[in-house]
Amino acid sequence: PLPDAPDYLQRLNPEQRMAIETTDGPLLVLAGAGTGKTRVLTTRFAHILLSGRARPYQILAVTFTNKAAREMRERIGTLLGEPVEGLWLGTFHALCARMLRRHAEYVGLSSGFTILDTDDQLRLLKQVIEPLRIDSKRWPPQGILGVIQRWKDRGLTPERVTPAEDCDFADGRCRAIYASYQARLVQLNACDFGDLMLHVTEILRTRPDVLAQYHRLFRYILVDEYQDTNTIQYLWLRLLAQREGQQSNICCVGDDDQSIYSWRGAEVENILRFERDFPGAAIVRLERNYRSTAQILGAASGLIAHNDGRLGKTLRPGRDDASGEKVRVASVWDSDDEARLVGEEVERLRAGGHRMSEIAILVRAGFQTRAFEERLIALGLPYRVVGGLRFYERAEIRDALAYMRVLNQPADDLAFERIVNVPRRGIGAVAMQKFHQAARDAGIPLTAAIGTMLERGEIKGKARDSLAALLNNLAQGREALPREGHVVVVDRLLEESGYIDMWKADTSIEAPGRLDNLKELVRALADFDSLGHFLEHVALVMENEESAGAERLSIMTLHGAKGLEFDTVFLPGWEEGVFPSQRTLDEGGLKGLEEERRLAYVGITRARHRAIISHAASRRIYGNWQSAMPSRFIEELPDEYVTTTGAASQTRSRGLGQAPVFSSAFPVTARRPRATDSADKGESRSGTALTVGTRVFHQKFGYGTVSSVEGNRLDVAFDKAGSKRLLDSFVEKAP
């Protein structure tokens, strides 16, 4: 470092300093995870201020999340030694909302406009399509909303959508619907989330005076996580940065290997376009990773090397500590074992003085959080689900629980009210009032009152048929409970009531995740011997208030963890069909798989000191056990940076010998995949039934007696080898 450099530049490497001190002209920082891109951006912000190049409000800084914006604001405050006010620092949406308030009149709004949430959006869209008589089964409103959203992501106002682009959806009427929807929004003095960017970009495109105003205002533009910008964000940036007769002082930092939002319209090609749009752009590459140990970095680099078409970057460990722990790959029996393992490890770390806030569990899909939440609650370990709701608080789970509550207890009016019109059964507010009145007058529960009204012919039309069907489903389910068991009955109720179909018809981005959550809920149900016990358990779990302010461990999705870092990172569920996700596998393309691999890379590179990957040998589907393949990403990790626990060495060399091993020795036998179609539900294995007391033979452990059976999972007391837990397919009935 130069002796005369100010303090805040002292501890940076030469490339970082270059990226900070090259203040004028376009600059692209292209660098791998943990190389200090965000730090460069923050320091650059401070440097521009401290060197007198601009006032705080003359810098536009874009972050990917509000959390990142907060952190950057704090870091800048620290660097400057005082908090700064009036910054244009935030997410694309936050910045656009602020701009739109200033110029709302150009798009027919007034500055007090409201921003609609998804529910309002949908309600409004339904009003718009109602008179068009569109078959809502075939073209669900959510789907139309999705088409509109994607157009907005691409910067297309209704006028800019060409007839050729009006897709087949809704028989080519989407464009017209889009136009009326936008018109309705204006009438209501409202806009949706996508409009924030769309309107502002349109204003900048069509009002040179406004654009010139911002060109004068923003002397410098800084953008983090540039690889995940979508088309409209890119257009917006380019409009603001390309100033006639002046240099574009735009600095973008990004990593093509961490592009993980293409499903939301992000285009990694924006990185490649940068040099074209900003001629003479300087490109700085940072190669030293200051976050992770050499072991973690080696594992992550080896993994991402399996992707084709990368821009190519070098990533070297910043510290010479070959002493770090290797990345651990633990093979566990099932998701409960996985949660137990993580729980034990967290307790151990906590006892060793590690801070809870420095530990994260990063999941691929929301449904995975349930097992960990329950385990952590049981152990009394404080946690938070970052960027999402706790499992039992999610809307679809609450709905399904309400169905279960009414099934369990017909007098549960609160629960009934939640589900009576979910899915839509044609029951309006007036009808609901009548039901309430009848129930109050007779002093009976809602379900009973409605039953009586149905009998007397007091309910008409669609509501009559749909309510009769619902009450019938509930009554039949209740009656079947002792005979068929709660898992089967609840599963059927959710199907027959149309609740599952409601989400299947939903084409929004969240819908598949909700369906997975519902499956996980039914799975959890199998752990309890009755519906009543399960509901009681949930009530107790929900009671467990989050302790405010306490040091908490973070559970979040891999997507949500971008840009963050933790001492210890748990990466559970690395199995084919979970990660990479089943959807990616079904689609089959290489593109999807490479994006999943980038997500895995993001996951591992969040860790400073410890990364623990786990995969379960079996997952339970409807009380039955299905064997699971370890994720291909596990095999792709270079051996020298990885240590495996249990018989994972066999697991890592895929093919034969994938014995699930955790806590005790399990047999090493060729896997026999099990069919798990719905016909398999609730049954144990076909063929010879193994029941408690059956004598069995195992290739390695010899003879033994079955001591308990749960689905296709057995406990066997072996005569010589002691007690073992295993899949029934590993043993045969003794002759």
Quote the CA–CA distance of 117 and 272 in Å, as a whole number: 34
Half-sphere exposure of 62 (CA within 13 A, CB side): 26
Report cis status (omega within 30 of 0) of the bond before 580. Answer: yes
Instruction: Please report how close the Cβ of residue 91 comes to ligand ATP at its closest, in angstroms.
Output: 15
Among 19, 35, 369, 425, binds ligand ATP (CB under 6 A): 35
38 known member of a binding site: yes
- DSSP of 23-90, one letter per residue? -SS-EEEEE-TTSSHHHHHHHHHHHHHHTTS--GGGEEEEESSHHHHHHHHHHHHHHHTS---S-EEE
* Interface of this chain with ligand ATP, residues 550 to 579, rule: CB under 6 A: 563, 565
Contact between 16 and ligand ATP by CB under 6 A: the answer reads: yes
Is residue 37 part of the annotated active site? The answer reads: yes
Which position among 38, 121, 149, 584 bears the catalytic label?
A: 38
Which position among 17, 37, 288, 425 bears the catalytic label?
A: 37
Q: Which stretch binds ligand ATP (CB under 6 A): 5-13, 129-137, 215-223, 687-695?
A: 5-13
Which CB atom, from 563 or from 630, has the smaller least distance to Mg ion?
563
Which CB atom, from 79 or from 637, has the smaller least distance to Mg ion?
79
Which CB atom, from 39 or from 364, has the smaller least distance to ligand ATP?
39
* Interface of this chain with Mg ion, residues 209 to 238, rule: CB under 5 A: none
Among 16, 38, 249, 605, binds Mg ion (CB under 5 A): 38
16 binds, among ligand ATP, Mg ion, none (CB under 5 to 8 A by kind): ligand ATP
Which position among 42, 231, 258, 557 bears the catalytic label?
A: 258
Q: Which residues pair with 316 in a beta bridge?
A: 288
Instruction: Please report how close the Cβ of residue 33 comes to Mg ion at its closest, in angstroms.
Output: 8
Report cis status (omega within 30 of 0) of the bond before 423. Answer: yes
13 binds, among ligand ATP, Mg ion, none (CB under 5 to 8 A by kind): ligand ATP
Q: Which stretch binds ligand ATP (CB under 6 A): 12-20, 64-72, 153-161, 613-621?
A: 12-20
* Interface of this chain with Mg ion, residues 521 to 580, rule: CB under 5 A: 563
**Which position has the token pair 């007397």?**
456
630 binds, among Mg ion, ligand ATP, none (CB under 5 to 8 A by kind): none
Which CB atom, from 485 or from 563, has the smaller least distance to Mg ion?
563
Contact (Cβ atoms closer than 8 angstroms) between residue 684 and residue 666: no
Q: Which residue's beta carbon is nearest to the bound ligand ATP? A: 36
Instruction: Please report how close the Cβ of residue 153 comes to Mg ion at its closest, in angstroms.
Output: 23
Is residue 219 part of the annotated active site? The answer reads: no
Quote the CA–CA distance of 326 and 362 in Å, as a whole number: 18
**Which position has the token pair 């990466």?**
571
Q: For residue 626, give the amino acid letter.
A: Q
Contact between 291 and ligand ATP by CB under 6 A: the answer reads: yes
Which position among 15, 195, 202, 224 bears the catalytic label?
A: 224
**Cβ atoms within 10 Å, residue 629:** 16
H helix or E strand, kind and range, residue 377: helix 369-379
Quote the CA–CA distance of 204 and 198 in Å, as a whole number: 10
Q: Which stretch binds ligand ATP (CB under 6 A): 6-14, 210-218, 362-370, 624-632?
A: 6-14
Among 8, 169, 290, 703, binds ligand ATP (CB under 6 A): 290
Is residue 269 part of the annotated active site? The answer reads: no
Contact between 202 and ligand ATP by CB under 6 A: the answer reads: no
Half-sphere exposure of 493 (CA within 13 A, CB side): 31
78 known member of a binding site: no
Instruction: Please report how close the Cβ of residue 211 comes to Mg ion at its closest, in angstroms.
Output: 30
Quote the CA–CA distance of 11 and 40 in Å, as a whole number: 12
Structure tokens that stand for 239 in this block: 């409009």
* Interface of this chain with ligand ATP, residues 598 to 627, rule: CB under 6 A: 605
* Interface of this chain with ligand ATP, residues 223 to 282, rule: CB under 6 A: 255, 258
Among 17, 39, 215, 724, binds ligand ATP (CB under 6 A): 39
Instruction: Please report how close the Cβ of residue 70 comes to Mg ion at its closest, in angstroms.
Output: 14
Q: Is 384 helix (H, G, I), strand (E, B) or coil?
A: strand
Which CB atom, from 72 or from 376, has the smaller least distance to Mg ion?
72
Quote the CA–CA distance of 334 and 624 in Å, as a whole number: 12
Going from the C-alpha of 265 to that of each of 154, 240, 270, the distances in angstroms are 8, 21, 12
Is residue 38 part of the annotated active site? The answer reads: yes
34 known member of a binding site: yes
Which CB atom, from 37 or from 724, has the smaller least distance to Mg ion?
37
Give every CB contact of residue 251 below 8 A, 6+ residues apart in sequence: 19, 26, 27, 28, 29, 41, 44, 220, 221, 222, 223
Half-sphere exposure of 479 (CA within 13 A, CB side): 6
Quote the CA–CA distance of 68 and 37 in Å, as a whole number: 13
H-state helical runs in 485-510? 486-496, 499-504
Residues that bind ligand ATP (CB under 6 A): 11-13, 16, 31, 33-39, 255, 258, 290-291, 563, 565, 605
Where in the sequence numbering do the catalytic residues fall?
A: 37-38, 224-225, 258, 606
Which residues fall in the annotated binding site?
Answer: 31-38
Residues that bind Mg ion (CB under 5 A): 37-38, 563
Which residues fall in the annotated binding site for ATP?
Answer: 31-38
